[in-house]
Amino acid sequence: MADSSKYLKPGAGQRKMNNFLAKVGAPAVAIPGRKSGTLRIAAIIPVTVGGKKYLVSTRGNSDWALNLRVAARGELRRGWNRQQFTAIEVAGAERERVVAAYRRRYGIEVNQYFEQLPDLADHPTFRLEF
């Protein structure tokens, strides 16, 4: 498990934008809170690699990633579409393939986070099983 202090906290403006996006139909996940059990919603875009969907925490050990690590389940949302999933944290070569694909797909939006946290172990990555 990576150092939980490795986290690039977003500013207030970015948090408000993410919350807004999660409410208006952008891709998001709903994950039970690790302490409260209350569903927490975060805007996040999955990536598909080899026919499997993955979530990558670009900012490191974010709250959603720490919650998913504990709960190992959640719900992928886009608009009214809901898909329940079980999450399996991946490491090693599988994480390397997924992060590489994620960076190719969303590079301009996410590369700054990987430059600030270059160790892939600092980016929790989860395979979703439906």
Task: Give the start-to-end residue ranges of the domains of the chain.
Answer: 12-129
CATH domain 12-129 topology: Pnp Oxidase; Chain A (2.30.110)
- 41-48: long-range pairs with CB below 8 Å, 24+: 41/77, 42/18, 43/18, 43/19, 45/106, 46/76, 46/128, 47/98, 47/101, 47/102, 47/105, 47/106
* pTM for the structure as a whole: 0.89
What's the confidence (pLDDT) of residue 3?
56
User: Looking at the chain, how many residues does it have?
Assistant: 130
Strand 47-49 to 39-43 pairing: unpaired
What's the confidence (pLDDT) of residue 11?
74
- Per-residue pLDDT 10s for the chain (130 aa) are 445 579 988 778 776 777 676 667 689 999 999 999 999 999 998 999 999 999 999 999 999 999 999 999 999 999 889 999 999 999 999 999 999 999 999 989 899 999 999 999 999 999 999 9
What's the confidence (pLDDT) of residue 9?
86
